[in-house]
Chains A and B, each alone.
Chain A
C-alpha cells in the first residue's frame, strides 16, 4: 500500500516526469515559471511590503540594510554582534520548545488514549489554554525567582505547549478503533498498541503540532526577551526601539521572520520525509 502511495506522490510532484523524460522546452518553461512564482514574486512582494513598513515607520530600506550590516560587523553599543543575538535567541527557543515537546506529547497521548486522564486534565487544559503567553510575563519572573533564562523559556514553553498537546490529543483520538481492536484480538499488550498503532497513527498530527508549536514559540521570543537580558533578537528589537534606531528594529524583525521561516520550512521537509503516507504536507 505504501509503495502505491509513494508512486502516487511521485506522480503528483512531477518527479516521475523528470526521471523518465529528457528535459524538454516546455518542462524548462515550467521550471522557469515555478521559480518566478515561488521565488521571485514572493521575494518582490516581501521587499515591497518591507519598504511600505519602513516608509510608514519613517525610515528607508537603505537605513535598514545599513543597520543590519552595522549590527553584523560592528555589533551594538554593548558589543554584542548580530550572531550573538541570533544564537542567544535560538538557545532560548530550543530550551522552551524542547521542554514543551517533552511535556506535551506524553500528556497528549495520555489524554487522547485514556478517558480518565481526559476527564481530569481536559477541563484544566481548556481553562489554561486561552491565556496568552504574553499575559504570563509579569508572573514568570516571580515563578522562576531570579532565573531570567527560566522565565524566558517558560514564556516560550507556554507558546509551544498547547498546540503540540492539542494536536497530539486529536491525533491519538483519531486512531482507527478497528486497528486497535484487531491488535487486541491478536493479543497485543497496551504498550504494543501505543508504540505500533496509536503513536504512528497520530504522528502526522503530532508533527503538525510540533511545527505550529515552534511557530508560536518563535513568535513568543520577542515577548520573552523583553523580560530582560543583554542579548537576543527580541531584546534587540526592544532596545533599538528605545534608542530610536528604527532601521535596526526592522532589520531585527526581518531576521526573526527569516529564521522562523527557515526553521518552519525545515520542519515541513522533515515531516514530508518521515511521514510519507501523509500527502497533504507540502514543502
Chain B
C-alpha cells in the first residue's frame, strides 16, 4: 500500500469513528426543571432539605441544580436561559427584573430576616463602637449598593439619627468582610452564616440584628421564569409544594435541619446553630416589604430612569404571584 493511500484510510477511519461516537453518544435526559441556587447560603436551606430528604424523587421530578455565586449572576442565568426556577434574594430579582427586563415572577418566600450589622470584637470590647451611632465617620463594609443589606444599613443609621453620608461604605464580598475590619472600618453588614462565623471565629460581634432594624424584612425568594411558569404550571406547582413542605419540616425539625446545614456548609455546630436561630424560615411573601424596597431603589437612583414602573402597585402585582402559596394556606 502506498503512503498516500494509508494516510487517506487513516483520515477516513478517524471521520467514521468520530461520526460513530456522536451517533452512539447518549446525552443525559433533559431535566423537568433547572433550579438555580446560591452556594452555601443558609437562607436557602429549604432546597437542601428537599434534596437530602428526597422530595424531588418522591414527586418524580428530574431536577438539574445550577449553583451561582450571587443573586445578580443567577438573574443573568435566567436571562441566558440556563435555569427555569431559582432560589435567590428578592433584591437582585427585583432590580434586574426592572433594569434588564428579565421576566421572572416571585412565587414564594424562602426566609425573612437573617442579616446583621457586625462590629469588630476588638473595637466593641474596647468600648469604641457599641452602638450604631458610634459608626459616625467610620467605614462600614456592605455587599453592594442595591442589596437589602444596604437598605438595612441606611435604615439603621436613620434610626440612630445618622445618614448614609455619615459613614464611608465599602463594597466587598461577605466572605471577606470579617477579615477586613480595622479600627477605622470596624463594622460590616452581611447575611448568615457569615455573621455567626465571624462571631464564632472571635472576629466580630453583632451590633444589631436585621430583625431589630426592620422586623420580618424580605430576603430570599423562589422565582420562576415567566415562560416556564406559563408552559409548565404543574411542575412549578410541584416544586412549590416541595418547597413549602421543606420549609415546614425545617420549622418542625430544627435539630435535624441544623444537622443537614452543618453537613452542607461544612461548618461547626455552634455557628450554624447561631445562624439558624437568626433566620425566619417562612414561605409567605412580605409584599409590603418588597414595596418599601422598590421605593428605596427608585429613591436611590438604582433603576434606569425610563424603566421605572409608572404604577408600582401594578408592577408588584405582575412581579409577585402567591396564588399557589395562598391556595395552600387557605385549603389546609
Contact = CB atoms under 8 A, between A and B. Distances in A.
Contacts of B168: 230
Contact of A244 (B72, B171, B181): B72
B144 interface: yes
B190 to A, nearest CB: 12
Which of the four size classes fits the interface of chain A?
A: 20 to 34
Contact of B145 (A141, A226, A229, A243): A243
Contacts, number: 73
Contact of B146 (A226, A227, A230, A243): A243
Nearest to A75: B301
Interface in B60-95: 70, 72-73, 75-76, 79, 92, 95
Contacts of A235: 171
B304 interface: yes
A229 B73 CA distance: 20
Interface of A: 58, 76-78, 141-142, 145-146, 148, 226-230, 235, 239, 241-246
Contacts of B102: 244
B176 A228 contact: yes
B284 interface: no
Contacts of A77: 145-146, 300-302
Contacts of B312: none
Contacts of B166: none
Interface residues of B, number: 33
Contacts of B79: 58
Nearest to B164: A78
Contacts of A230: 168-171
13 contacts: A77-B302, A78-B145, A141-B180, A146-B180, A146-B181, A148-B172, A227-B173, A227-B176, A228-B173, A239-B171, A241-B76, A243-B302, A244-B99
A143 B172 CA distance: 17
Contacts of B145: 76-78, 239, 243
Contact of A228 (B98, B100, B171, B301): B171
A239 B301 CA distance: 14
Contacts of B146: 77, 242-243
B75 A244 contact: yes
Contacts of B302: 77, 243
Given A78-B145, A141-B179, A243 B99 contact: yes
B319 interface: no
A226 B100 CA distance: 22
B141 interface: yes
A246 B307 CA distance: 14
Interface string B1-22: 0000000000000000000000
B96 interface: yes
Nearest to A59: B100
Given A228-B171, A243-B144, 16 more contacts: A58-B79, A77-B302, A78-B169, A146-B182, A228-B141, A228-B170, A228-B180, A229-B170, A229-B172, A230-B169, A230-B170, A242-B95, A243-B72, A243-B99, A244-B95, A244-B96
A58 B81 CA distance: 13
B172 A245 contact: no
Contacts of B141: 228
A84 to B, nearest CB: 14
Interface string B127-156: 000000000000001001110000000000
